[in-house]
């Protein structure tokens, strides 16, 4: 990965921070193709493809996000621990608003003036919503997946329990991840997967929880998880003034909401409420559903279904080939 140092970034809370921001560019070089920004989910990072890549099924040669056709940029969420020195001393220093501003500043440093698409899943989708409100003409289309533009009481409750586990548990990373896995899946998903089966006298579902807890603890820092959990609780594009319509209706980009009816983290009913309330003010707004028993993680599990939805979106998107080289400011 490459990095950019943002000196004394002024946070939403008024603090000045030096932030070393890591990013990765795959596909065609900047300036030679339409640009797609991919915002990663909670415990992933800017590595999209190859070993350790979290989105190999969607990004790559001849995939939906085709690296032979697009320039694809992904930026690490500051404080996520991926990259040297990428931890925040104060895990509550940044909000989703700050992350979106940092991403915009990073794009500006790279000379990017226009994006074909901003796409993100889970917390990455919330960052996508926030970026679109801060820069309403930046992208031709915005695709938030399995997410929301705001927090909810349900999400706040989950984040509060996660914060308590991370602060007080004997094995905080392992136990927080185990609890989180139950938020990412559904009872039906686990019941059908494990069917009360045991191995060596232990329920297989418990071994599955142990595996996921241990796997995260091996690759993730406690301070990073605290940071990302706090960021998850800070989602609010209305910035506490209560008028999301005022903010979202300014977005000129076409918006494609992708929701999951069984999602227990970001509820589909909230996304449908957004669609119903916003559609009268924004003709270029669309909503799609991933049908699955698997809950929030369906955006990772149902890769073919997601690919089909994205294929239909990208086929309808209009790329002005004559202007594709104007997508960057040459330095």
Which residues are tagged catalytic?
Answer: 122, 263, 296
Which residues touch 235 (CB under 8 Å, ≥6 apart)? 96, 123, 126, 130, 148, 149, 150, 151, 155
CA distance 261 to 290: 7
- Which contacts (CB < 8 Å, 24+ apart) does range 11-14 have? 11/93, 11/94, 11/95, 11/98, 12/94, 12/95, 12/97, 12/98, 13/93, 13/95
- φ, ψ of residue 243 to 5 degrees: the values are -115, 80
Residue 104: closest CA among 136, 81, 72: 136
- Which contacts (CB < 8 Å, 24+ apart) does range 84-87 have? 84/20, 85/20, 86/20, 86/22, 86/224, 87/221, 87/223, 87/224, 87/227
Determine the distance from the C-alpha atom of residue 182 to the mean position of all C-alpha atoms in its chain, rounded to a whole number.
19
CA distance 253 to 140: 5
Determine the length of the chain: 331
């Amino acid at each position: 990965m490459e990095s950019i140092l943002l000196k004394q970034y002024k946070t939403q809370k008024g603090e000045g921070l030096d932030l070393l921001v890591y990013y990765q560019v795959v596909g065609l070089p900047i300036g030679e193709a339409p640009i797609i920004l991919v915002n990663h989910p909670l415990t992933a990072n800017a590595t999209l493809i190859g070993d350790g890549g979290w989105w190999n099924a969607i990004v790559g040669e001849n995939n939906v996000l085709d690296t032979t056709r697009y320039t694809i940029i992904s930026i690490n969420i500051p404080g996520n621990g991926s990259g040297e020195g990428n931890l925040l001393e104060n895990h509550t220093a940044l909000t989703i608003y700050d992350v979106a501003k940092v991403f915009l500043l990073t794009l500006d440093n790279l000379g990017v003036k226009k994006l074909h698409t901003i796409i993100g899943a889970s917390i990455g989708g919330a960052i996508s919503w926030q970026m679109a409100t801060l820069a309403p003409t930046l992208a031709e289309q915005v695709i938030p997946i399995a997410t929301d533009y705001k927090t909810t009481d349900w999400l706040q409750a989950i984040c509060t329990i996660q914060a308590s586990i991370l602060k007080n548990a004997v094995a905080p990373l392992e136990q927080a991840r185990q609890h989180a896995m139950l938020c990412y899946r559904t009872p039906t998903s686990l019941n059908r997967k494990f069917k009360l089966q045991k191995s060596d006298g232990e329920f297989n579902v418990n071994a599955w929880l142990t595996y996921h807890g241990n796997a995260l603890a091996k690759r993730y820092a406690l301070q990073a998880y605290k940071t990302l959990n706090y960021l998850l609780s800070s989602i609010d594009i209305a910035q506490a003034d209560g008028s999301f319509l005022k903010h979202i209706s300014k977005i000129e980009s076409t918006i494609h909401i992708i929701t999951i009816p069984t999602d227990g983290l970001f509820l589909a009913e909230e996304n449908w409420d957004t669609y119903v309330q916003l559609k009268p003010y924004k003709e270029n707004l669309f909503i799609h559903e991933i049908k699955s028993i698997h809950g929030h993680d369906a955006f990772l599990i149902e890769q073919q279904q997601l690919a089909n939805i994205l294929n239909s979106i990208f086929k309808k998107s209009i790329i002005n080939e004559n202007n594709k080289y104007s997508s960057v400011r040459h330095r």
